Structure 1
Amino acid sequence: MTTSRTGGPSAVSADGSRLPSLTGMRFIASLMVFVCHAAVYGIFNDKDLGAALVTYVSKLGFVGVGFFFILSGFVLTWSARDTDRPLTFWRRRLAKIFPNHLVTWAAGLLLMTWIGGYAATVSNTVPSFFLIQAWFPVEDVFFGTNGPSWSLAAELLFYLSFPWLVRWVRAIPAQRLWTWAGILFAGVVLVALASQLLPSDPEMPYYPISWYQYWFVYCLPLTRLLEFALGIVMARIVQTGRWIPLSLGGALLTLIPGYALTVWLPDAYGIVAPTVIPLALVVAAGAAADVKGTSSPFRGRTMVRLGELSFAFYMVHMLVMWYGPMGRVPGRTWDTLPALGMIALTFALTTAAAWLLYRFVEVPAVRRFSNTRKRPQPAPAAPDRSLTDVAG
């Protein structure tokens, strides 16, 4: 697997084609998560507006996280090589995520005890440090010192399973890949159905669903593995020439009915399932657009630069919300325009903090730890003409 200068998958296939549109899309996905959390923060004096934001805007976070999980499987498959070894692959992935995580975990611990006035306990610090918090249906454990890091627990499972998952998907005949995409989507629906067997109490504060159902459908790494596997399958569909004639614009339009279902479907059925197919289509269509050179609004220099900041942005945004100007006085509200100003200020501070984390932690750590030092190689032997003539 090739890596970019930042150490993450550079989205380069065996034929050398890069996928800058998918990098640009990453920032839009992280922005969706930011807007979701701002919508449910409760800073508007206008209660009707606040309720409308919770109903119609807060679900954007579901879409953003789902995009990242599908994208992860797609990009890792796109950039994979037959010569990849699991240990080398795992080292590169850990070098990408752990430095940012450790810095934001430490910052969260400091801010939680110093500004937030919360007591640091084993349950709200240790599991999140080792990125195993998402396996526990306990809120104090799950949110830890930096709530967004729960998704990294899912990513760890994805990385550990990828060498075997990609081998399995590569063994699927090309004509059956779309069938397997449908099977994986059916699995996502079955997860929502199975969640109905879990306790109905306690309820989530912002969604009409119990905490246990929410955790099982949205947070448990094992259930989110289905979307990661779908990303792998979609990459193989594009690589094997089985992609349908759907433009990136057409794929983006499928998100409209998908999001409408996210808003209107009851409890667990509206969290993940409605946008799984649209997001899979968007990721694949974005890759196909880059390979073919067709137009894409996400390929520009600014979008790609913002996309490179997306992981750092995601990791710091809740810390800035909780402990920055917007959350400095818990429970404080503003009129509509000042509240929007606070959200804009929080976004600016988050972007600045993300740039610092990216520039001084993520990039240096990846450069230092993602690649092994190359040993001197002996001079190549003269080619065997009997082989080169046959192989070309």
Structure 2
Amino acid sequence: MAPPAAREKAPRLPSLTGLRWFAAFAVFGFHLFTGGITDDPGTQRFLGAVFSAGSSGVPFFFVLSGMVLTWSSRPGDRAWAFWRRRAARIVPSHMVTWIAVLALLTVAGRAVAPGPAVSGFFLLQAWAPDETYYFGGNTPSWSLSCEMAFYAVFPLLLPLLRRIPGNRLLLTSAGLWAGTWVVPFVSFSMPESIGYWFVWIFPVTRALEFALGMTVALMVKEGRWRGPGLPVAVVLVLVAYATVPLVWQRAGWVAWMAGPFAVLIAAAATADVREKRSPLRLPVLVWLGEISFAFYLVHQPTISLVNRVLGRTPAHALLVTLTALPLAVLLAWALHRLVERPAERLLSGGRPGAA
């Protein structure tokens, strides 16, 4: 069998699509934990035990983004064509949900100020070290602001990483992961609010995870990945996830999980390339992974809306969860079918962008 790099088109990686759902669900759980859905201390402790580290789904998506875009890239692909495909992939769904959320907030008497509303609409909010900007409107969209920055530099960054000798890719990956550990230490010299933005929001520091995913893709493409298999990688990520609350907070935001996520993504991709068994390829997981971007966009406003509409009862947290989850999946499916895919076909010039 020819190595993946030698083929005209890289093979699909459905296990990575399946993994996307788990990351999106972790973020959903995190927003349940932080969304004020319960007044019961025991229930809140339970949500914290399960989902306090759920925001680590965002580092997963950043590493995955670098991996998938590098994997699907082709020699001779022009920058403008790439940018058009990526814009077609995320901008229409973002605009629809952004406008819908602004309208709902206005009706609820919590209208977003013009500055955050406009900057968020154009996905520039992550560049402002001000919470009213980067968390204004549809809060999860701040990560799309980072993604747009990653897309902007990808056509320039990929040729540079491709020049790295294959036997040095592992060292490069280690250096990028080490960089995610340097960032929280640098933030020590900053005021607390700026330090949070610098570690968690700032597109430049978050680009380390994106570049890490790119180097992982190059290793897998060249058949140089020698890390653990999928079962061991899953255990590694679960242990890291469970221990996030025990880690220094600023390191726990990104650095603690970025390395294990890179290992998991490489292991899952390798399992697909070598056609090894992978439960992540189950059709239901692949389907959920395909709508995970839309789910990510709609999940927090869905939780907030359901929490506001349902009256407080002893089982309020359970009712919110059991209502918001299927409703968010339904809304995500509709957004995926009616906006995301049609807009992608229309605007990407006939070639759908990578997930």
Question: Normalising TM by the smaller chain, what interval?
Answer: over 0.9
Which residue in 1 is equivalent to 2:214? 232
Q: Distance in 1 between matches of 2:316 and 2:109?
A: 27
Tell me the CA shift for residue 334 of structure 1. Answer: 4.0
Q: Deviations over 1:146-195 (max 9, x none)?
A: 10100011000110111111111110000000100111011100001011
Check the 8 A contact 2:10/2:72 in 1, yes or no: no
Q: How does 1:220-299 map to 2 (within 5 A)?
A: 220-299=202-281
Give the 3-state SS of the residue equivalent to 2:280 in structure 1: coil
Largest Rg, 1 or 2:
1
Check the 8 A contact 1:37/1:58 in 2, yes or no: no
Which residue in 1 is equivalent to 2:16? 22
Which residue in 1 is equivalent to 2:190? 198
Which residue in 1 is equivalent to 2:82? 89
Tell me the CA shift for residue 214 of structure 1. Answer: 1.9
Give the 3-state SS of the residue equivalent to 1:123 in structure 2: helix
- Identify unmatched segments of 5+ residues in structure 1: 1-11, 201-210, 374-392
| Aligned counterpart for 1:106 among listed residues 96, 99, 105 | 99
Check the 8 A contact 2:37/2:316 in 1, yes or no: no
Q: Distance in 2 between matches of 1:137 and 1:54?
A: 27
Check the 8 A contact 2:140/2:297 in 1, yes or no: yes
Tell me the CA shift for residue 245 of structure 1. Answer: 5.0
| Structure 2 CA distance for partners of 1:175 and 1:367, relative to 1, 3 Å | same
What amino acid does structure 1 have at the position aligned with 2:182? Answer: L
Q: Deviations over 1:220-257 (max 9, x none)?
A: 11111000000000001111111115211111111133
Q: Distance in 2 between matches of 1:172 and 1:166?
A: 10
Deviation larger for 135-144 or 152-161: 135-144
**How many aligned positions are there?**
346
Q: Distance in 1 between matches of 2:210 and 2:262?
A: 10
Check the 8 A contact 2:227/2:263 in 1, yes or no: no
Check the 8 A contact 2:26/2:51 in 1, yes or no: no
Q: Distance in 2 between matches of 1:55 and 1:245?
A: 29
Is 1:117 aligned to 2:109, yes or no?
yes
Tell me the CA shift for residue 16 of structure 1. Answer: 3.9
Q: How does 1:40-79 map to 2 (within 5 A)?
A: 40-54=34-48, 57-62=51-56, 64-79=57-72
Check the 8 A contact 1:77/1:235 in 2, yes or no: yes
Runs of 4+ in 1 over 3 A off after TM superposition: 12-16
Give the 3-state SS of the residue equivalent to 2:115 in structure 1: coil
Q: Distance in 2 between matches of 1:146 and 1:228?
A: 23
Is 1:188 aligned to 2:180, yes or no?
yes
| Aligned counterpart for 1:347 among listed residues 318, 325, 333 | 325
Tell me the CA shift for residue 318 of structure 1. Answer: 1.1
Q: Distance in 2 between matches of 1:341 and 1:249?
A: 34
% same residue: 42
TM-score (norm 2): 0.93
C-alpha root-mean-square deviation of aligned residues, in Å? Answer: 1.8
- Identify unmatched segments of 5+ residues in structure 2: 1-5
| Aligned counterpart for 2:288 among listed residues 299, 303, 306 | 306
Q: Distance in 2 between matches of 1:85 and 1:133?
A: 27
What amino acid does structure 1 have at the position aligned with 2:336? Answer: Y
Check the 8 A contact 1:24/1:307 in 2, yes or no: yes
Tell me the CA shift for residue 277 of structure 1. Answer: 1.0
Q: Deviations over 1:239-279 (max 9, x none)?
A: 11111152111111111332244211122121111111110
Tell me the CA shift for residue 53 of structure 1. Answer: 2.7
What amino acid does structure 1 have at the position aligned with 2:34? Answer: V
Check the 8 A contact 2:20/2:61 in 1, yes or no: yes
Which residue in 2 is equivalent to 1:170? 162
Which residue in 1 is equivalent to 2:3? none
Is 1:328 aligned to 2:286, yes or no?
no
Tell me the CA shift for residue 20 of structure 1. Answer: 0.5
The structure with the greater share of residues assigned to helix is 2
Check the 8 A contact 1:123/1:140 in 2, yes or no: no
Q: Distance in 1 between matches of 2:17 and 2:350?
A: 25
Tell me the CA shift for residue 42 of structure 1. Answer: 2.3
Q: Distance in 2 between matches of 1:285 and 1:370?
A: 30
Q: Distance in 2 between matches of 1:16 and 1:130?
A: 32
